[in-house]
Amino acid sequence: MPVVPAQPFDYSFPEGRLALVVIDMQRDFVEPGGFGESLGNDVTRLQAIVPALQRLVTACREAGVPVIHTRECHRADLSDLPPAKRDRGDPALRIGDPGPMGRILVAGEPGAEIVPALAPLPGEAVIDKPGKGAFYATAFADALEAANASHLLMTGVTTEVCVQTTMREANDRGYECLLVEDCTESYFPEFKAATLEMVRAQGAIVGWTATSDQVIEVLSP
């Protein structure tokens, strides 16, 4: 089996059973003027991972590793948006409100789309999710089954919220997950650092971590 040098120990995966999961690399989170910036966050931190993630996505496509994308977004009538999510805190803009890129985190609006540099190719699965985890109220599990995946490369934003939630959900379902360190990011660097430590603690209790270069070297011919 291919082996990636990783923490806390090497990560191996069976041929044909690996998939890349790219979580919520959407304009509303990554680009200036989006929802993330409206909350007072520095979106340049998230933008900085795009080149490494581009390289990883390209390497996976060339190696025949399925790429699965997720988008956090809601129906236009907000029927799948619970008040506990919409009404939390005191942000300048809330989900569903008009923003610079259309209604915030509403399916079909420009801000809910994946950034152009990471646009899905025809045939790649794109999962719209109303929650933080990718399994809740979605066809994500079906997409993983269609990809014959048992091992997952986890990437995207934000590390401590949607990425970690999905990784923990996947771990509970028996998937072996590797979080790619330079292909995930948080608005808060200390949160990312803590998440990396948490997932690989106690003998990879949630999963492994490694860099994109370490993964690409194993995927490339």
pLDDT lower than 50: segments of the chain: none
pLDDT tens per residue, range 143-190: 999 999 999 999 999 999 999 999 999 999 999 999 999 999 999 999
d(CA 129, CA 220): 31
129 is catalytic: yes
85 is catalytic: no
Give φ, ψ of 38 to 5 degrees.
Answer: -65, -20
d(CA 170, CA 114): 22
162 is catalytic: yes
Q: How many CB atoms lie within 10 A of CB 2?
A: 14
Cis upstream peptide for 58 (omega within 30°): no
Identify the active-site residue in 28, 73, 129, 177: 129
Mean pLDDT of the chain: 97
Write out the two tokens for 95: 């989900």
Residue 3 burial by Cβ neighbours in a 10 Å radius (0-12, 13-18, 19+): exposed
Identify the active-site residue in 60, 73, 162, 177: 162
